[in-house]
Amino acid sequence: MESWKRANARYFDERAARYSKGNWQSAHLADPEEAVIRSFCRGLAVDIGSGPGQAVPLMASLADEVVAMDQSPEMLRLATHRRPRLVCDVHRMPLRSGHVSYAHLRMSIHYLSLGRIKLELARILRPHGRFGVISIVPYGEADESWFNERHRLKGKPQAWTPSEQQLCSALESHFRVVDSHEWTEKNLLSRSASSNGSERRDALLAHATDAPLSIRRLYQISKSDEDVSMRVKWIANVFERL
């Protein structure tokens, strides 16, 4: 049996071409994410779970040096930026302790062990170094299981979506929140499910339309013209090393 690390790398290797062309999550940086990068990206900066590297050009315009990291070789191969790229397990980054000023985690926190990445970030960051988390999160604990079921239907070998409260609680022993933004975005599910094949795509659409009424209201799920729309909550939280 493949380890979850190898399985995750294979999952994203297979989907790298679609991500590099820009899916609904990777097509652009939202204004709050740009604001976070402009405010905190300095010195040596690392983009953790970089994928096609949407954030790297902006980070490179502000930092002295930027390193893109991912466990998927194909994702990094298809990235168009020219910054250094490292294929690695980001729970054990090949970086010297205490040398990173800023780390950026864009849509990657839900593939990581919060306990392990917390310790690794505390190791690589300078005193009072910062890291930004850009992520889709459930609106509350009650819908966490519904949201995580979407990961399972997509065939992701290891993923979960922590609530914002869980995220902050897991990190509070080593970090404090210094900046926070949130926003919602409408998504057509056929677009976000297109990289999962027709069988999984149909399962994902059914999962949304068959959701309990409370979930449908929460995410404003509606069906029209054989497509399903859903509003999701994003957060951009910046944490500082204590």
Written as one string, the DSSP assignment of 176-201 is: EEEEEEEEEEEEEHHHHTGGGHHHHH
Residue 231 tokens, joined: 């509003």
Angle at which helices 197-209 and 144-153 pack, to 10 degrees? 160
pLDDT of residue 225: 79
CA distance 78 to 21: 10
C-alpha distances (whole Å) from 83 to each of 44, 46, 134, 167 are 12, 10, 21, 29
Q: Which residues contact 11 (CB under 8 A, 6 or more apart)?
A: 155, 156, 157
Angle at 70 between CA 68 and CA 73, to 5 degrees: 105
Strand runs (DSSP E) across 54-163, as ranges?
65-70, 85-87, 100-106, 125-137
CA distance 90 to 70: 7
Per-residue pLDDT tens digits of the chain, which is 242 residues long: 346 677 777 888 887 777 766 555 656 799 999 999 999 999 999 999 998 899 999 999 999 999 999 999 999 998 889 999 999 999 999 999 999 999 999 999 998 999 999 999 999 999 999 999 999 999 988 899 999 998 888 888 778 888 899 999 999 999 999 999 999 998 888 776 666 677 788 898 899 999 999 999 999 999 987 789 999 999 999 999 99
Residue boundaries of the structural domains of the chain: 4-187+232-241
CA distance 44 to 93: 14
Q: Assign 224 to helix, strand or coil.
A: strand
Given a contact cutoff of 8 angstroms between Cβ atoms, the answer to whether 219 and 231 are in contact is yes
Q: What is the CATH number of domain 4-187+232-241?
A: 3.40.50.150
Written as one string, the DSSP assignment of 147-162 is: HHHHHHHTT-SS----
Q: Which of 193, 184, 192 is nearest to 218 (CA)?
A: 184
Q: What is the pTM of this model?
A: 0.91
Given a contact cutoff of 8 angstroms between Cβ atoms, the answer to whether 33 and 106 are in contact is yes
